[in-house]
Amino acid sequence: MNRKNVLGFAMAIAMVAMLAFSGFEVSAAGLTQAQFPELVHYGTITDEDAQILKSFFDYEYYKEQNPDVVEQYGDSYEALFNHFCTKGVFEGRTGSADFDPAAYASAYGDLKAQFGADILSYYRHYATEGKAVGRNITTIAACAEAGITVIGLANDSIVITPEVYRVAVYLGTNDYGVVRQSIAIAQQRAAATGGSVVIVADDASGGGSALEGLEKVGTITAGNGLHIGIYVGQNLESYGAWQLDGDTLAAITLISSTDGYVAVKDVNDELDPTYRIASIPVYAWSTEATSSYSTLNNSSADVYLMANAETETDYNIQPDSRETNGVETTVTFSGSSEGTPVVADENGTTSTEYTVGVGFVESSAESVTVNVAIEGDDGLAISDTYTFEGE
């Protein structure tokens, strides 16, 4: 066990002691539900809503997670599903382990801006649109993995940072409010004694994820890729990152944006391409599939990744900075004598999945700095930073 993990373990043990010392109830239900039902605004649902909610309802999960409901209403499927539809959904109780509307809202800011605290709207959107277009960050765990803080909908005082989530998992509790209070106590005590608080390490090596703090765009494998478009907003000093259609480069989904961003639409209510200041294609290639027209230089890897930016005047913009644990090399295409920079994944195979994330570092009317990261399930990590001029 390395030093960071030892410190992380010590932190966890100290927190367990604090939980017991402070009289907190570790086993209390947490998640993102409101703790005071009398403060909840209970709405009504239509028959169509009930059918949608049925697809999100796992009877065994709901029964296990809500013993207070079982005690009051019984444990029949009908009683528990009726509770979920009439009370539970509005209290922020989740119907299954696979979808939390607060996590979905926190992961996709455009939806939060559109629906606010209307919990039902997130169920409707995911069922009718979101799932089909790959909006797959739907749980607190997925948000934590992507570096996203979850804010409750039924109770916006519930704030679950990735650090709080990781410590909660380490301690085996889902009472995130208790964990947050305990971390605050630990920080206060550390400050009083001149010490510091170390949160549990992400993994055995003690390293963090290249995707931390970024919004996930999607995943790719060898032979395919995706495009990210950077668009300036109406006020010409805010920016949005959009997933683009790989063939037409038409904007599909808003991934992330800076404060005050409002997209500029054309007469067809589609994103105006003249406000796109750059696109960033990310591809993974198999050397086996491309050996007839390219040569991977100084590496025998089976997979390499190409990531560069494009503007109207330059189609091969390399990042301002790149951090990677892969092999930085070049690939030479048939008919060209000049090598194109790539990162070779010497552990990658044709089935390796690479997750792509994007986030804004800083922005102004003059320029915007963007971070694009790629992380493979085999451990490859690439973190690129680009700076583009504004409009």
Res 232: pLDDT: 94
Res 292: pLDDT: 59
Q: Which tens digit of pLDDT belongs to each residue from 171-187?
A: 667 777 777 777 666 66
Q: What is the rounded distance in angstroms from the CA atom of residue 100 to the CA atom of residue 42?
A: 18
Res 103: pLDDT: 92
Res 25: pLDDT: 36
**CB-side exposure of 49: number of CA atoms within 13 Å?**
15
| Strand blocks (E) in 139-275 | 150-151, 159-160, 215-220, 224-232, 239-244, 251-257
Residue ranges for the chain with pLDDT beneath 70: 1-40, 170-172, 183-208, 290-293, 335-337
Residues contacting residue 131 through CB under 8 Å, at least 6 positions apart: none
How is the chain split into domains, by residue range? 3-27+158-193, 37-151, 215-389
Res 356: pLDDT: 94
H-state helical runs in 23-148: 47-54, 59-65, 67-73, 77-83, 89-91, 101-107, 109-115, 119-125, 140-145
Res 375: pLDDT: 92
Query: pTM, whole model, 2 decimals?
Result: 0.50
Q: What is the rounded distance in angstroms from the CA atom of residue 27 to the CA atom of residue 35?
A: 14
- The first and second tokens of residue 244, run together, are 């683009």
Which H/E stretch holds residue 241?
Answer: strand 239-244
How far out from the chain centre does Cα 239 lie?
Answer: 19
Res 27: pLDDT: 33
Look up tokens 């993990």; give the residue. Answer: 5
